[in-house]
C-alpha cells in the first residue's frame, strides 16, 4: 500500500484547461503549456508508419504530435480491442520526448464514416445513415443512430481506459480530439424518422438562452418557429454536438483529459446567411459555437482548421474562434510556406497550440491544399520558428496566460500594423531594407531578398513595464510611447539578441546598437529572439 501511494503521489497532475479574465491556459504537469505541435498525415497511425513521423517531428522542433487513433484499428472485430498501436505510439513518443494529442477518428472523419470498422460502415440497419428529403440514403452517419452512438462511445471509453492504464503516471497524452471535422456536406440535416420527430420538438431552453442568431422569430417553440431559415442547420448542429458531447463525457468519466472538436471552416468574412451548401452543416463553425457549448459541455473548445491562406480570412477566423468562453487553439493549418508567418500571430495571441498539418515524411504531399514538398524542406519554415520558441516555451505560455503577449503576421497587402501594448505601441512594417529608406536612392528598384511573398511575422511578450521579448522574422519593428508614455521622447536602452537556456535564464549573445537599430529593429529572415528595454527622458 505504501509503495502504491508513493507512485500515485509522484504522478503529475492531469492536464486541464484553466481560465482567468477571459484568457485560457492548457496546464500540463501543473503549469501553462503551449503546444508547438505538428499533425501527422491521416494514414500514419500504424507502428511501421511512425518511422517516417519521428524524424519530421524532430526537424520540426515540435513538443507535441497530433496523430489519429482510428476506431477501425482498435476494434476491427466488435468487442475485441487491440491497443498495440497505441502502446507503440505512446512508448515512442516518450522516447522522442514529445507529448501526444490523440485524434479519435470514428463515426465522423471529415464528416464521413471512413474510419469506422467495417462492421459499422456497411450495416445501415443497425448503424443508420442520414436520409435526405426524398428518403434517399446519404453518405453521413445519422446523429440519431442510437446503436452507433453506443458503439462509438464504448470504443472511446475502452481507449480512454487503456490510456489511463498506460499513461496516468506520465501524462504523455495531454488532449483528445473527439471525431474530426464533423457535420455533413451537401445536406443540411437528417430527415430520417427519428430526426423528423426531434425536429418537431421545441428548441431546448439552454439553446434559446445562449445561441446568438441573426433570426429569432419567437421566444420559444419548434426549431422552425424560432429560427426560421437557420433552423435546420442549428438543429443538425445540436444533434451532432449532443452525440459528441455524450462520447466525450463518457470518456472523461474514465480519464479526465481535456477534449476538443475541430472545424472545417465556413468563411469568416462573408455576410451571415442560412446554410446553402457552402460548408459542412452541423460542424462547430464559428456561428454555432454556442450550440456546442450547450449540447457538449464535456468539450472544452471548438478549434479552427485553417486552410485559407489569405491573411484577412486567417485573421478573421482567429477573431471568430478566440473568445472568453472558447480558448484559441489551431490544431491544423496548411503546411505550405505561406502559413509559417502565422505562427507568430497565433502564438502571440496566446493560443493553447498551433499545429501545421501533414508533418511527416510519408511519400505524400498535400498540395494544393498544403506544401508540394514531403521532406525536410517542407518542415523547415515552421521548424526554424519552433526552434527559437522551444527553449522559452514554458515562459511563453505563462506570459500568454497573463495577457502579456501579442502577435502579427504580414498581411497579403504588406501594410504596416500597429500593436497596442501597455503604455507602448509597436509599429511593424514589411519589405524594409535594414539601413535607411528606399526613397533615399532612386536607383533602388528591387525589394529585399526573399520578400516576394509575405513571410514576415513577430510575436512580442511585454515582460515588464519597459521590457519586451521579441521573436520574429522579416519585419521592421519600432516602439513608441502610449498611455502614460504618450508624447514622451523615448530611447532604446538594450536590444539584446540571445536565447533562454533550459532553466529559463537569458543568455545574451550581443547587443544591437548603432546601425543595427538606427532604422528600426530590423529582424532578418532567420528567426531571432531579442530582449529589449526602452526608456523615456
Q: Residue 339's closest CA among 387, 384, 381?
A: 381
Task: Give the number of residues written for the chain.
Answer: 537
Minimum Å distance from CB 175 to ligand N0T?
A: 15
Q: Per CB under 6 A, which of residues 181..200 are in contact with ligand N0T?
A: 181
Nearest to 426 by CA among 404, 448, 450: 404
Complex with ligand N0T: residue 104 or 199, whichever CB lies closer: 104
CA 528 – CA 384 distance, rounded (Å): 10
* Residue 68 or 381 with smaller CB distance to ligand N0T: 68
Determine, following the binding rule CB under 6 A, whether residue 357 of this chain makes contact with ligand N0T: yes
| Binding flags for ligand N0T, 106-145, as an x/- string (CB under 6 A) | ----x-----------------------------------
Q: Which stretch binds ligand N0T (CB under 6 A): 122-130, 191-199, 300-308, 434-442?
A: 300-308
DSSP-derived letter for residue 202 is: B
* Shortest Å distance, C-beta 295 to ligand N0T: 21
Among 151, 188, 264, 469, binds ligand N0T (CB under 6 A): 264
DSSP one-letter string for 234-284? HHHHHHHHHHHHHHHHHHHHHS---EEEEEEPPPSSSPP----SSS-BTS-
Indicate which single residue of 142, 180, 455, 466 sits in contact with ligand N0T (rule: CB under 6 A).
180
Given the complex with ligand N0T, which of 104 and 357 has the nearer CB atom?
357
Least separation in angstroms between residue 330's CB and ligand N0T is 12
Q: Is 440 exposed, middle or buried (0-12, 13-18, 19+ CB in 10 A)?
A: exposed
Q: Which three cell numbers stand for residue 147?
A: 446503436
Please report, for residues 26, 230, 329, 330, 373, the alpha-carbon distance to residue 394 in angstroms, rounded to integers and kept in the order given. 11, 43, 16, 18, 31
Q: What share of the chain is helix, strand, coil (3-state, %, to 5)?
A: 35, 25, 40
C-beta of 22: minimal distance to ligand N0T in Å?
Answer: 28
CB 309, min distance to ligand N0T, A? 9
Binding range to ligand N0T, per CB under 6 A, among 222-230, 245-253, 302-310, 420-428:
302-310
Contact call for residues 93 and 65 (beta carbons, < 8 A): yes
Give whichever of 302 and 388 is closer to ligand N0T, judged by the CB atom. Answer: 302
Q: Which is nearer to ligand N0T, 180 or 395 (CB)?
A: 180
Site size for ligand N0T (CB under 6 A): 12
Question: Using the rule CB under 6 A, is 366 a contact of ligand N0T?
Answer: yes
88/53 Cα distance (integer angstroms): 13
Instruction: Quote the cell numbers at residue 269.
Output: 468574412
Q: Does 360 bind ligand N0T (CB under 6 A)?
A: no
Write the interaction track for ligand N0T spanning residues 387-426; mark x where CB under 6 A is met and - where it is not.
----------------------------------------
Buried b (16+ CB within 10 A) or exposed e, 51-69: ebbbebbebbbbbbbbbbb
Q: Which of 66, 72, 305, 393 binds ligand N0T (CB under 6 A)?
A: 305
Q: How far is the CB of 372 from ligand N0T (least distance, A)?
A: 14
Collapsing DSSP to helix, strand or coil, 230 comes out as helix
Q: How far is CA 12 from CA 52, 171, 278, in A?
A: 30, 7, 44
DSSP 376-396: HHHHHHHHHHHHHHGGGHHHH
The pattern of x and - marking residues 309 through 338 that bind ligand N0T according to CB under 6 A reads -----------------------x------
Nearer to ligand N0T, 180 or 338 (CB): 180
Cβ proximity of 54 and 93 under 8 Å: no
Per-residue x/- mask for ligand N0T, residues 30 to 49, rule CB under 6 A? ------------x-------
Residue 110 or residue 224: which is nearer to ligand N0T going by CB?
110
CB of 454 to ligand N0T, least distance (A): 18
DSSP state of 323: B
Residues that bind ligand N0T (CB under 6 A): 42, 110, 180-181, 264, 305, 307-308, 332, 357, 366, 369
Amino acid at each position: 500500500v505504501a509503495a502504491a501511494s508513493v507512485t500515485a503521489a509522484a504522478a503529475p497532475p492531469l492536464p486541464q484547461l484553466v481560465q482567468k479574465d477571459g484568457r485560457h491556459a492548457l496546464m500540463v504537469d501543473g503549469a501553462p503549456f503551449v503546444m508547438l505541435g505538428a499533425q501527422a498525415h491521416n494514414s500514419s497511425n500504424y507502428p511501421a508508419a511512425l518511422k517516417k513521423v519521428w524524424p519530421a517531428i524532430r526537424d520540426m522542433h515540435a513538443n507535441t504530435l497530433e496523430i489519429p487513433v482510428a476506431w477501425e484499428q482498435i476494434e476491427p472485430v466488435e468487442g475485441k480491442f487491440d491497443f498495440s498501436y497505441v502502446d507503440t505510439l505512446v512508448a515512442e513518443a516518450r522516447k522522442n520526448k514529445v507529448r501526444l494529442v490523440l485524434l479519435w477518428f470514428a463515426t465522423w472523419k471529415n464528416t464521413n464514416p471512413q474510419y469506422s470498422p467495417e462492421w459499422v460502415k456497411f450495416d445501415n440497419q443497425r448503424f443508420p445513415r442520414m436520409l435526405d428529403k426524398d428518403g434517399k440514403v446519404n453518405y453521413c452517419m445519422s446523429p440519431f443512430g442510437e446503436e452507433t452512438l453506443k458503439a462509438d462511445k464504448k470504443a472511446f471509453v475502452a481507449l480512454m481506459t487503456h490510456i489511463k492504464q498506460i499513461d496516468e503516471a506520465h501524462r504523455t497524452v495531454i488532449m483528445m480530439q473527439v471525431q474530426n471535422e464533423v457535420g455533413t456536406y451537401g445536406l443540411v440535416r437528417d430527415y430520417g424518422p427519428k430526426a423528423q420527430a426531434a425536429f418537431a420538438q421545441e428548441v431546448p431552453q439552454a439553446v434559446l438562452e445562449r445561441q446568438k442568431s441573426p433570426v429569432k422569430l419567437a421566444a420559444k417553440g419548434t426549431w422552425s418557429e424560432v429560427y426560421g431559415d437557420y433552423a435546420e442547420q442549428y438543429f443538425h448542429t445540436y444533434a451532432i454536438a449532443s452525440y459528441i458531447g455524450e462520447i466525450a463525457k463518457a470518456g472523461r468519466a474514465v480519464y479526465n483529459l481535456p477534449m476538443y472538436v475541430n472545424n472545417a471552416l465556413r468563411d469568416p468574412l462573408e455576410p451571415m446567411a442560412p446554410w446553402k451548401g457552402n460548408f459542412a452543416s452541423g460542424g462547430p463553425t464559428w456561428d454555432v459555437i454556442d450550440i456546442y457549448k450547450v449540447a457538449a459541455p464535456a468539450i472544452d473548445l471548438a478549434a479552427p482548421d485553417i486552410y485559407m491562406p489569405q491573411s484577412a480570412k486567417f485573421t478573421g477566423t482567429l477573431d471568430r474562434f478566440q473568445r472568453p468562453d472558447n480558448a484559441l487553439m489551431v490544431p491544423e493549418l496548411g503546411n505550405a510556406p505561406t502559413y509559417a508567418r502565422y505562427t507568430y500571430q497565433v502564438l502571440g495571441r496566446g493560443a493553447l497550440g498551433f499545429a501545421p498539418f501533414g508533418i511527416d515524411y510519408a511519400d505524400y504531399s498535400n498540395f494544393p491544399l498544403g506544401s508540394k514538398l514531403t521532406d525536410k524542406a517542407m518542415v523547415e519554415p515552421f521548424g526554424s520558428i519552433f526552434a527559437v520558441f522551444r527553449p522559452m516555451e514554458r515562459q511563453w505560455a505563462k506570459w500568454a496566460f497573463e495577457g502579456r503577449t501579442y502577435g502579427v503576421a504580414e498581411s497579403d497587402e504588406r501594410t504596416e500594423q500597429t500593436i497596442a501594448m501597455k503604455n507602448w505601441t509597436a509599429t511593424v512594417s514589411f519589405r524594409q531594407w535594414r539601413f535607411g529608406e528606399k526613397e533615399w536612392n532612386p536607383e533602388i528598384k528591387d525589394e529585399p531578398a526573399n520578400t516576394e511573398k509575405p513571410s514576415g511575422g513577430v510575436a512580442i511578450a511585454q515582460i515588464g513595464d519597459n521590457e519586451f521579448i521579441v521573436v520574429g522574422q522579416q519585419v521592421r519593428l519600432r516602439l513608441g510611447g502610449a498611455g502614460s508614455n504618450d508624447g514622451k521622447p523615448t530611447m532604446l536602452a538594450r536590444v539584446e539578441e540571445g536565447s533562454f537556456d533550459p532553466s529559463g535564464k537569458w543568455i545574451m549573445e550581443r547587443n544591437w546598437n548603432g546601425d543595427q537599430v538606427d532604422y528600426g529593429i530590423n529582424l532578418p529572415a532567420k528567426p531571432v529572439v531579442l530582449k529589449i528595454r526602452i526608456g523615456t527622458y
